[in-house]
Every structure is written in C-alpha cells, then in structure tokens.
C-alpha cells in the first residue's frame, strides 16, 4: 500500500495547502486513556501512514513545504501561507495564562481579536474568512509575545473568524535554568503529520493503546479530536484483535486465529483432506495448509470447534449468531432480506469487503468500500470433503460461520463473493472450514 506521509516539526516547516485542511488530534477511553499510535488509511485513495498518537494529523488538499513564516524564536507556525479560505495557527505556551490573538492589516487596523485562557502546552487555531491581503498576527500573554506575517489570496471572503481547531493540549518538557531558577522550554517530538486528503474521502483510523486496538471510521468535515474507546480482545494464544463498533454491536475487526480454547485445551490442526472430511469434533486449518495464510487471514474452523463449550473466542466475546449477523446486515444495508436464502442486499458486500491492497478479484461494480471498517479479507474456505475452494490464483470468496445450527449436520453461515455486491446466506455442512468473527457479549 502506497504511503504518503510528511512529518513537520513545529517551528521548522509549514504545509503548502491549496484547499481547506483539518487538524485531527486523538484521545482514548476505556482500557487505554492514552493513544500510543494511530494507523491512518485513506480508503478512497488507498494510501496510509502510521503516527504517534500524541501527534496531530493534518489532512490537507496538497502536501508540500512552504517558506517558514514564524517568529524569531520559532514558537509560532502558520500553514498554509499564503492561504485561500483557511489557515492554521500553531504555537506553544510556556505556562497557563490568558492569551490574546490579534490580526492586523498592514495599515495597523485590527480586524480580528480572540481571547482564550489556555493551559501550558501547544495549541492549534484555525483562521477563516480573511480577505485577500497581507497581515500581521500577534499572540500575546503576560509571559510571552509572538508575531508572524501571513498572506491571504482568497478570491472571496466571509466573516473573519478564529477558533480553536484542536483540543489536544499537553505539557511541555521543561528544565530549570542553572543559577536563576527559571524554567525554559525544551523542544519535544510533538509533530504535525500531513496527509493528502480530498473532500469526501473515507478514513479508517486504528488507534493502539498497549495491546488494545480500536478502529474508527472517519469522514472529516472539520478539525476535531477523535476519541478511541479501547476494549480488551485477546484469545488464549495472546493474539490481540482490533475491534470496531458497527451500530449497537462491537465486532472483532479481524478473523480469529486461536489454536486453543479459553481453558488452554488445544484445537487440533487437521491438514489431511481425507481426515478433515470425516471429523465430528473441533478442528482448524490454514488455507492450503500454509501457515502464512493463517497468520494474515486467520484460521479456518469447522463448526464443531465453534460449538465446543470450552469457547475459543476471547473472554467476554462469542461467535456471532445468525440473528446477530442479521442485525449487522440490516443496519448497513436496509435492502437485505433477513428471511432470504442465497444472495441478498444491494450493497452489503461492498460495504463489508476490504477495498485496498487485497487479493479480491472484482468487477468495477463489485469491489469493496469497507465503509463500516469490518475489513472482510479474501480468505477462501475448505469444503466439507476436505478439498479447498476452487479459487483462481487464490482470489475468490470468503465465508464466516455463525454460532447457529440449522440441522444436526448443517449450520448457518455468511459468504461474500468476488463477483457480487450481496451477502450469501445458507447452511453448509458443519465439516466445512470457514472463517470466524467474534462479537462482544
């Protein structure tokens, strides 16, 4: 996957953006109050970057470097500059104080003033509605004063406005200056990370806090703070799974990879096709018995492994039932008929399929959007006889067991197919090998 990332340290460079840009900061709740890292995937452009969770993401129409415009102490930055429509102001406060931000025409006429009580740390504001022209900017408190020049090339303007664009305030590193007891600021590694973004793009954000990962689907329309709610999801093998909230349900965002049940008992790995076709007890395999398949795409399980009371899902999770799949489907695609057999829904398949850098074979009309963050990979499957799915180049379908039996020898499942936009609902033999997704209790 192509990566476009430009790291801009505050006070070193500014971003050249010819369109509106948004500043995005991150916070955590639940099992993790801090965000260690964030993976940002632009699903519309199939680009991605990874960044520290304490940094600020700048989503901009064009990524480049402009001439630096800031004060002599490199404490304030403005980007883009020149700008059309909007620009962002970043500066740092050595201590908590009342701050006055003022914008002046070169004639000395003040056209904008904003007063804020700000804590110690770095702060981001957005200026908008500034008529074309050259201006002076002043940021002043009882403890510091910064100044900068900026140029607006707006073809038209609205009402001049300045507002806080990011609320991710944090303490500056400090040290005592020997001999006088004063505090001086130390530049830390806080950065603004720029990423190409066009209006209407869909972003998939994966926040990490310790072993917890949470996916948030993001459709930016303004600068804001994204808060990840972290939930523990780890199996008996210490595989740690990302999770995603879809409607009222919390799903594992990855396929299960467990080789043991919660009590530590092993789930047998059955490679032989003839042996697989006679099983009436739990087992798993990797597609074509290739461990690399299992490591990336998750294992394939027969239904008897799912029905085992020892439970292979992480504690607090279970294999999603037929009814729970119906809830997901109706939430994402109202055209799904939950009483139908075989294919149903006009767009549910595209919503669930992963769309970038996959081995899905697809038509232009059936490729994946992944707009819900479910990220269904093209895993393929094993039929009940033990044979492998007939996939040209391993690029074909994926299928998921539900936890719901249909008869003594068959159970409900869901399948996504490379050549359709629907979801396929039926009840194959329990000896088949399918992928598994768990859902929160």
In the chain the domains, ranked by start, together with CATH numbers, are: 2-196 (2.60.40.1930), 236-440 (no CATH)
What pLDDT score was predicted for residue 351?
95
The rounded percent of the chain whose pLDDT value lies above 90 is 56
What pLDDT, in 10s, does the model give residues 229-243?
999 999 999 999 999
What pLDDT, in 10s, does the model give residues 310-356?
999 999 999 999 999 999 999 999 999 999 999 999 999 999 999 88
Q: Out of 168-172, 174-178, 199-203, which region has the weakest mean confidence (pLDDT)? A: 174-178
Residue that the structure tokens 């520290």 belong to:
52
What pLDDT score was predicted for residue 116?
87
Q: Given a cut of 80, is residue 13 above it in pLDDT?
A: no
What pLDDT score was predicted for residue 317?
98
Mean pLDDT of the region 54-74: 57
What pLDDT, in 10s, does the model give residues 245-287?
999 999 999 999 999 999 999 999 999 999 999 999 999 999 9
SS (H, E, C) the chain: CEECCEEEECCCCEECCCCCCEEEEEEEEECCCCCCEEEEEECCCCEEEEEECCCEEEEECCCCEECCCCCCCCCEEEECCCECCEEEEEEEECCCEEEEEEEEECCCCEEEEEEEEECCEEEEEEEECCCCEEEEEEEECCCCEEEEEEEECCCCCCCCEEEEEECCCCCCEEEECCCCCCEEEECCCCEEEEEECCCCCCEEEEEEECCEEEEEEECCCCCEEEEEEECCCECCCCCECEEEEECCEEEECCCCCCCECCCCCECCECCCHHHHCCCCCCCEECHHHCHHHHHHHCCEECHHHHHCCCCCCCCCEEECCHHHHHHHHHHHCCCCCCCCCEEECCCHHHHHECCCCCCCCCCCCCCCCCCCCCCECCCCCECCCCCECCCHHHCCEEEEEEEEECCCCEEEEEEEECCCCCEEEECCECCCEEECCEEEC
Confidence of residue 20 (pLDDT cuts 50, 70, 90): low
Confidence of residue 109 (pLDDT cuts 50, 70, 90): confident
Confidence of residue 435 (pLDDT cuts 50, 70, 90): very high
Q: Given a cut of 60, is residue 43 above it in pLDDT?
A: yes
Higher-pLDDT residue of 82 and 217 is 217
Confidence of residue 156 (pLDDT cuts 50, 70, 90): low
Mean pLDDT of the region 35-59: 94
**Mean pLDDT, the chain, integer:** 84
Q: Given a cut of 70, is residue 130 above it in pLDDT?
A: yes
Confidence of residue 3 (pLDDT cuts 50, 70, 90): very low
Q: Given a cut of 90, is residue 301 above it in pLDDT?
A: yes
What pLDDT, in 10s, does the model give residues 344-377?
999 999 999 998 877 887 777 888 999 999 999 9
Higher-pLDDT residue of 177 and 48 is 48
What pLDDT score was predicted for residue 392?
56
Confidence of residue 391 (pLDDT cuts 50, 70, 90): low
Here the tokens at position 197 are 């973004």
Confidence of residue 123 (pLDDT cuts 50, 70, 90): confident
Contact 231, 411 (CB under 8 A): no
What pLDDT score was predicted for residue 176?
37
Q: Out of 145-154, 190-199, 234-243, 388-397, which region has the weakest mean confidence (pLDDT)? A: 388-397
Confidence of residue 135 (pLDDT cuts 50, 70, 90): confident
What pLDDT score was predicted for residue 83?
78
Q: Given a cut of 60, is residue 406 above it in pLDDT?
A: yes
């Amino acid at each position: 996957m192509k990566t476009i990332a430009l790291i801009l340290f505050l006070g070193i460079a500014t971003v050249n953006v010819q369109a509106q840009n948004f500043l995005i900061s991150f916070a955590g709740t639940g099992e993790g109050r801090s965000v260690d890292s964030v993976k940002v995937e632009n699903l519309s452009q199939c680009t991605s970057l990874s960044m520290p969770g304490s940094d600020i993401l700048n989503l901009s129409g064009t990524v480049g470097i402009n001439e630096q415009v800031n004060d002599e102490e490199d404490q304030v930055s403005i980007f883009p500059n020149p700008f059309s429509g909007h620009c962002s102001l970043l500066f740092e406060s050595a201590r908590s104080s009342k701050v006055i931000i003022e914008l002046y025409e070169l004639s000395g006429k003040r056209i904008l003033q904003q007063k804020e009580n700000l804590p110690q740390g770095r702060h981001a504001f957005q200026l908008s509605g500034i008529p074309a022209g050259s201006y002076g900017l002043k940021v002043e408190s009882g403890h510091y004063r910064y100044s900068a020049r900026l140029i607006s090339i707006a073809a038209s303007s609205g009402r001049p406005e300045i507002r806080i664009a990011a609320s991710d305030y944090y303490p500056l590193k400090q040290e005592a200056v020997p001999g006088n007891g004063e505090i001086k600021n130390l530049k830390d590694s806080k950065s603004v990370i720029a990423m190409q973004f066009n209006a209407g793009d869909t972003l998939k954000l994966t926040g990490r806090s310790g072993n917890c990962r949470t996916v948030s689907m993001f459709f930016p329309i303004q600068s804001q703070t994204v808060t990840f709610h972290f939930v523990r999801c780890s199996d008996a093998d210490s595989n740690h799974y990302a999770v995603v909230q879809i409607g009222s349900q919390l799903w594992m965002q990855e396929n299960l990879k467990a080789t043991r049940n919660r009590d530590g008992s092993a789930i047998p790995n059955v490679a032989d096709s003839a042996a697989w076709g006679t099983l009436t007890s739990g087992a798993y395999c990797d597609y074509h018995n290739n461990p690399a398949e299992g490591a990336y795409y998750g294992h394939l399980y027969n239904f008897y492994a799912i029905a085992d009371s020892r439970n292979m899902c992480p504690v607090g999770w279970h294999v999603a039932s037929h009814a729970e799949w119906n809830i997901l489907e109706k939430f994402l695609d109202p055209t799904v008929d939950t009483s139908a057999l075989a294919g149903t829904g006009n767009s549910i398949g595209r919503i669930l399929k992963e769309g970038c850098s996959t081995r899905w074979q697809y038509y232009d009309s059936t490729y994946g959007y992944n707009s819900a963050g479910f990220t269904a990979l093209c895993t393929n499957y094993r039929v009940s006889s033990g044979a492998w799915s007939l996939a040209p180049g391993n690029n074909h379908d994926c299928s998921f067991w539900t936890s719901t039996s249909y008869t003594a020898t068959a159970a409900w499942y869901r399948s996504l197919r490379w050549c359709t936009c629907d979801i396929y609902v039926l009840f194959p033999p329990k000896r088949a090998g399918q992928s598994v997704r768990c859902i929160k209790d």
